[in-house]
Amino acid sequence: MGCFEVLDTDSRSAARQGLLTTAHGRVETPVFMPVGSSGAVKGVTPQQLRRTGATIVLANTYHLLLRPGVATIERLGGLHRFMSWDGPSLTDSGGYQIFSLSPLTKIDDEGVEFASHIDGTRIRLNAEEATQIQNRLGADIIMCFDECTPYPCDEHRLRKAVERTIRWARRCKRAHHNTSQLLFGIVQGGIDSQLRGCCASEIVRLGFDGYAIGGLSVGEGHKNMIETVEHTAALLPENAPRYLMGVGTPADIIAAVGAGVDMFDCVLPTRNGRNAFAFTEAGPLRLRNSSHINDGGPIDPACDCYCCKNFSRAAIRHYFNTSEMLGPILVSLHNLRFYQRLMAKIRQALAGGRFSDWAKQQLRQYSGYR
């Protein structure tokens, strides 16, 4: 069984540096987890991913259930062997797809029926099935099944989702039987502080290995998000990891670290990379623009990634404009490295006792990404 240790704290905020121990190794926090929903981070090999500085990756129960199927992954030796990733991993439960695939879902107190986004096949998921599937996949950290709501959301629906999330968490804990895995509970409640408090109280009372803040980055905006994170994180145990799901931009991450969050995931580095959008110290860079046609410089002179060491902006622009697959790969690699460099700077600032001053400056610098 893994454990979490707080190593350093910031005297002027709730930020902390920690060490999370899992069955497949240790993870320094705050940490960013690249997203590999279907068992691979798009366009990037596990070796390349390691070289960006990634130490833990995320996969998704719903997507792996559809293809290739849980039994296939089991026969091939489990999720780590399937992905050719020997480090720590986390699987989401499929609760986010209740939100993202809402036109294809029917939800009740028992669970959710999905119409597959691939071929329309009906798939039923509930708390027990989502937990048992994750037990079989074998990730180091697994998530309770929850209901993620949209923004805005009326009070009745939001309250109903919180009640379901609490009941489902109780059922997930009873169904969890793989002692080598950490099980995280999820706090829902939109931007309603009262509902967040109620949900956090009940989830903490149940007792989990870690706690996640879900249901954000769904349209509520940076200010509402951070106010909700600050309120919710303060209600979670200090001796357990705190995970903000699906977030976010550099400014989102820095502000959430200041609120006491330890773990993050987001599709932005690779999704934006596939669309010629690069994160840099100087602000966002759109590499299809004609201004780069003769630019022999790297995406970011401050970056030490493979892309920046070997390719010019002009070459990358050419690859995108000719639909050469190398373009999306290179910018994805750069963006992933940008995020890992950002997390390393956060940990260094915490270790050096200067996080608050550093964060204030960085939040101004990264305001263009919101």
Tell me the per-residue pLDDT of 187-240, one tens digit each, with 9 for 90 and over: 999 999 999 999 999 999 999 999 999 999 999 999 999 999 999 999 999 999
| Same-domain check for residues 293 and 172 | no
| Same-domain check for residues 194 and 62 | yes
Q: Quick check: pTM over 0.85?
A: yes
| Same-domain check for residues 136 and 225 | yes
Domain of 233, CATH number, reads 3.20.20.105
- Kindly list the distances between the CA atom of residue 286 and the CA atoms of 241, 253, 299, 317, in Å, as whole numbers in the listed order: 35, 22, 10, 9
In a domain, 273, yes or no: yes
Tell me the per-residue pLDDT of 100-159, one tens digit each, with 9 for 90 and over: 988 989 999 999 998 889 999 999 999 999 999 999 999 999 999 999 999 999 999 999
| Same-domain check for residues 154 and 204 | yes
In a domain, 140, yes or no: yes
- Say how many C-beta atoms besides its own lie within 10 A of residue 223's C-beta: 11
The pLDDT score that the predictor gives to residue 2 is: 54
In a domain, 69, yes or no: yes
| Same-domain check for residues 222 and 292 | no
Average the pLDDT over 344-352 and give the result: 98
Distance from C-alpha of 342 to C-alpha of 73, rounded to nearest angstrom: 33
| Same-domain check for residues 165 and 200 | yes
Distance from C-alpha of 22 to C-alpha of 2, rounded to nearest angstrom: 5
Q: With beta carbons less than 8 A apart as the criterion, state whether 287 and 317 touch.
A: yes
The pLDDT score that the predictor gives to residue 271 is: 98
| Catalytic residue flag (residue 92) | yes
| Same-domain check for residues 171 and 292 | no
| Catalytic residue flag (residue 140) | no
Domain encompassing residue 224: 3-266
> 250, 266, 282 — which closes off a domain?
266
Q: Considering the chain, what is the average pLDDT of its residues?
A: 96
The pLDDT score that the predictor gives to residue 1 is: 47
| Same-domain check for residues 140 and 43 | yes
> 214, 248, 266 — which closes off a domain?
266
In a domain, 57, yes or no: yes
From the list 10, 92, 209, 252, the catalytic residue is: 92
Q: Check pLDDT > 80 for residue 369.
A: no
71 SS3 class: helix
| Same-domain check for residues 27 and 157 | yes
From the list 10, 146, 192, 265, the catalytic residue is: 265
| Same-domain check for residues 253 and 325 | no
Distance from C-alpha of 287 to C-alpha of 183, rounded to nearest angstrom: 41
Q: With beta carbons less than 8 A apart as the criterion, state whether 287 and 294 touch.
A: no
| Same-domain check for residues 241 and 352 | no
Quote the crossing angle between the two packed helices 355-365 and 326-351, to the nearest 10°. Answer: 150
Distance from C-alpha of 265 to C-alpha of 58, rounded to nearest angstrom: 8
| Residue in 248, 356, 365 with CA at minimum distance from that of residue 8 | 356
> 266, 297, 325 — which closes off a domain?
266
The pLDDT score that the predictor gives to residue 292 is: 98
**What are 16's strand-pairing partners?**
9
In a domain, 368, yes or no: no
Distance from C-alpha of 333 to C-alpha of 340, rounded to nearest angstrom: 11
In a domain, 64, yes or no: yes
Average the pLDDT over 282-299 and give the result: 97
| Same-domain check for residues 168 and 240 | yes
Give the pairing type, strands 122-126 and 263-265.
unpaired
What is the count of structural domains for the chain? Answer: 2
In a domain, 202, yes or no: yes
In a domain, 367, yes or no: no
**What are 111's strand-pairing partners?**
126
